[in-house]
């Protein structure tokens, strides 16, 4: 299906071609998506790039994503009528914490087509689609449009701000160089032992319990039906997990991960210290510090040279400053932008 839209936006030159939209046409679109993504992220000084496999995974159908429904390609036509895809948007929705429903979009536009009103038009068209999805939902709590940006995506950020989005959170991506790892003792009465299959249910339940406290959570991922999918998650490396127990109760965890393929492709030795959670009764006794120090030592022992984590800089538990004190340093910042959904959707 092709939808035609006359772009009416400041900054567009009078001779700009009309913008139309088309949907996903199947696997043949993968190389196109990849090339737009690469050119777009390069223009935004984003170092990490994607592969065709990443695109295949990104476009795979899942519970709330169907590539034939949730991808929009922006197309212009040259004077002979020849179509050129200049960008695309990917969109879907989820429920965050406190019954906040987020209708989100990510969008990429080739650098040569920026600043001419096309990107705002793409955002508006995607918002129309998101409104249709929201209208089909029987229960709508507090609804927001949401988008993300890395701080170097200056044009994308200004487009979103021009459309009424506001930055609501900053997420810092941090690295530890695995030197000067602090020494911390395990609080009395707690044990850490290797994770076995029969421990996983308790670990999942503890993770689910703490997840609801986070600013960024996807409630749909923590329903009972999702447990099997969590168990089968191919990125899990339980031999690296550090889980502290108080008898048969999980007290806290750091779920460490090494992605060998990614390290090979990016020519680096990086591990991830992720899912750093301590359940409320065991907090403020030094447990997170101990689990993290052990994790850093473990990753170093595995031959890694650095450890990454991501944190909401306004985390309610003071986690951001704690990571700084542990020796992590921020290497990039992502922005969360939102706009209440009841705002004027813009001209059609």
Ligand X SMILES: CC(C)(COP(=O)(O)OP(=O)(O)OC[C@H]1O[C@@H](n2cnc3c(N)ncnc32)[C@H](O)[C@@H]1OP(=O)(O)O)[C@@H](O)C(=O)NCCC(=O)NCCS
Q: Which residues bind ligand X (CB under 6 A)?
A: 210, 213-214, 252, 276-278, 283-289, 311, 315, 317-319, 322, 325
Distance CA 140, CA 187 (A): 44
Please say which residue, 42 or 325, places its beta carbon nearer to ligand X.
325
Task: Measure the N-to-C terminal CA separation of the chain; round to a whole number of Å.
Answer: 17
* Exposure letters 130-150 (e unless 16+ CB within 10 A, then b): beeebeeeeeeeebbbbbbbb
Q: At a CB cut-off of 8 Å and minimum separation 6, what does 89 contact?
A: 71, 72, 74, 105, 106, 107, 108, 122, 123, 125, 126
- As measured in angstroms, the least distance from the Cβ of 64 to ligand X is 24
CA distances from 220 to 61, 67, 96, 225, 253 (A): 16, 19, 9, 9, 22
Please say which residue, 20 or 100, places its beta carbon nearer to ligand X.
100
Please say which residue, 58 or 215, places its beta carbon nearer to ligand X.
215
Please say which residue, 22 or 285, places its beta carbon nearer to ligand X.
285
The residue with its CB nearest to ligand X is: 318
Please say which residue, 16 or 173, places its beta carbon nearer to ligand X.
173
- As measured in angstroms, the least distance from the Cβ of 81 to ligand X is 51
Sign of CA dihedral 60, 124, 160, 166: negative
- As measured in angstroms, the least distance from the Cβ of 344 to ligand X is 35
| Contact indicator for 154, 348 with CB cutoff of 8 Å | no
- As measured in angstroms, the least distance from the Cβ of 230 to ligand X is 17
- As measured in angstroms, the least distance from the Cβ of 283 to ligand X is 3
- As measured in angstroms, the least distance from the Cβ of 260 to ligand X is 24
Please say which residue, 109 or 287, places its beta carbon nearer to ligand X.
287
Q: At a CB cut-off of 8 Å and minimum separation 6, what does 70 contact?
A: 90, 91, 92
Distance CA 150, CA 310 (A): 13
- As measured in angstroms, the least distance from the Cβ of 276 to ligand X is 5
Please say which residue, 19 or 326, places its beta carbon nearer to ligand X.
326
Structure tokens given for 13: 């030159």
């Amino acid at each position: 299906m092709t939808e035609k839209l006359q772009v009416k936006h400041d900054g567009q030159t009078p001779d700009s071609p009309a913008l139309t939209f088309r949907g996903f046409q199947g696997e043949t679109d993968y190389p196109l998506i990849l090339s737009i993504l690469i050119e777009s992220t390069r223009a935004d000084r984003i170092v990490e790039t994607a592969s065709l496999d990443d695109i295949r995974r990104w476009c795979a159908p899942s519970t709330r994503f169907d590539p034939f429904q949730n991808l929009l390609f922006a197309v212009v036509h040259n004077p002979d009528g020849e179509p050129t895809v200049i960008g695309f948007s990917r969109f879907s929705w989820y429920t965050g914490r406190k019954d906040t429903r987020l209708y989100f979009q990510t969008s990429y536009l080739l650098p040569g087509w920026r600043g001419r009103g096309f990107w705002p038009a793409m955002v508006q068209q995607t918002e129309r689609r998101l409104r249709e999805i929201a209208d089909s939902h029987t229960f709508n709590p507090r609804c927001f449009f949401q988008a993300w940006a890395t701080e170097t995506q200056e044009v994308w950020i200004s487009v979103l701000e021009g459309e009424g989005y506001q930055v609501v959170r900053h997420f810092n991506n941090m690295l530890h160089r695995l030197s000067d790892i602090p020494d911390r003792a395990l609080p009395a009465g707690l044990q850490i032992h290797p994770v076995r299959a029969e421990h996983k249910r308790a670990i999942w339940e503890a993770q689910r319990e703490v997840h609801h406290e986070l600013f960024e959570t996807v409630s749909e991922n923590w329903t009972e039906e999702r447990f099997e999918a969590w168990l089968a998650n191919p990125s899990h490396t339980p031999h690296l997990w550090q889980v502290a127990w108080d008898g048969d109760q999980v007290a806290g965890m750091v779920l460490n991960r090494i992605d060998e393929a990614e390290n090979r492709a990016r020519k680096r030795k990086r591990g991830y210290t992720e899912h750093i959670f301590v359940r409320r009764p065991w907090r403020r006794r030094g447990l997170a510090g101990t689990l993290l120090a052990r994790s850093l030592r473990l990753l170093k022992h595995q031959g890694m040279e650095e450890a990454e984590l991501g944190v909401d800089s306004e985390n309610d538990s003071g986690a951001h400053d704690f990571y700084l004190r542990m020796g992590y340093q921020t290497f990039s910042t992502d922005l969360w932008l939102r706009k209440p959904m009841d705002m004027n959707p813009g001209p059609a």
